[in-house]
Amino acid sequence: PSFQAMESEISAAFASGEPEDVLSRAFKLTVTREDICTLQPLGWLNDRIMNFYMGLLVERSKKEGYPAVYAFNTFFYSKLSSTSHKAVKKWTKGVDIFEHDVILVPIHLKIHWTLLVIDLRVKTIKYFDSLGQKGDHICRTVLRYLEEESKEKRNIELTASEWTLRSMGTEEIPQQNNGSDCGVFVCKFADFISRDKPIIFTPEHMPYFRRKMVWEIIHQQLL
């Protein structure tokens, strides 16, 4: 599609119609105009937008040349951290997460989105926060989950000492310069990581990424 056609489509998604109009449906999710409007400048992305975008990344990873990606739902970590493996073991029913290369865990911390990434190929768990906060305890919680999941589903004991856990430093990953872009940062961290690409974007890219995500979600296709 031409750039102009895309631009007018994106503007129309924000401008006309009712909040409850359905603009996209996939991954057992329905995205309404109200959801899409969270992608307007300085909007706070909601769970539906985050989960839908993760769905698009997983879908893309099925193509040749991409690492095999699994993404947890945005509600997974809050459930795990407030209960135990037992409470979330059904979430992976019929799925062996260990058959994937990369596992994405989008995390909602009350009013802030962050991302945890498990790379099973090199046994690392990394925490990405666009406000630079450390998430070492989050990494440890997820490693414990992996140990229990491996024992339960595959009868294989993971060796915790073989794993590297790390919160990414502010000099390693771009940082947001406002109070509302964290969700977009998480989506783009996940986008670059799920292509095995270095994270080279900056806060200046956010307005462009927001508009691009509108088109991608409506068309269920990553550009």
Catalytically active residues, by annotation? 112, 129, 182
Distance, in Å, from the CA atom of 217 to the CA atom of 9, rounded to the nearest integer, reads: 12
Contacts of 86 (CB under 8 A, 6+ apart): none
Beta bridge partners of 105: 116
Which alpha helices (DSSP H) does 89-155 contain, by range? 136-154
Q: What angle do CA 79, 35, 142 make, to 5 degrees?
A: 25
In 3D, which of 65, 66, 71, 37 has the Cα closest to residue 52? 71
Tokens (6 digits) for 92? 């992976």
User: Which strands make up the sheet holding 164-167, listed edge to edge?
Assistant: 69-71, 102-108, 113-119, 124-128, 164-167
> Taking a C-beta distance cutoff of 8 angstroms, is the pair 191, 223 a contact?
no
Count Cβ atoms below 10 Å from residue 108 Cβ, excluding itself: 19
Q: What would you measure as the largest C-alpha separation in the chain, in angstroms?
A: 55
Contacts of 198 (CB under 8 A, 6+ apart): 192
